[in-house]
Amino acid sequence: MGIGASLFLIALGAIKKFAVTADPRGLSLGTVGVILMAVGALGLVLTVIIWDRGHGPGWTPAGERGDVIEERRVYGRRRPPY
């Protein structure tokens, strides 16, 4: 889901729960707001957990795992004047 979408759902749910005073027939906007906030919070927690997995124990930046990095030289270009 992503952090941005999660925060958007939390904000939208809070607006529906606390700021909207309309009372449509057959729909509880407070309940809809609570559901949106819960889904946004769950999405935020899952996003943080998934991001943390990529940087857990044994994680190293690219190039430090013994990866082969190709080095290319460019000939025929002039050097900058500084």
> Strand, helix or coil at 11?
helix
Mean pLDDT of 36-56: 85
For 21, the token pair is 């005073």
| pLDDT tens sequence across 48-67 | 888 776 665 555 555 455 66
| pLDDT tens sequence across 18-27 | 998 888 888 8
> Strand, helix or coil at 44?
helix
For 35, the token pair is 């559901």
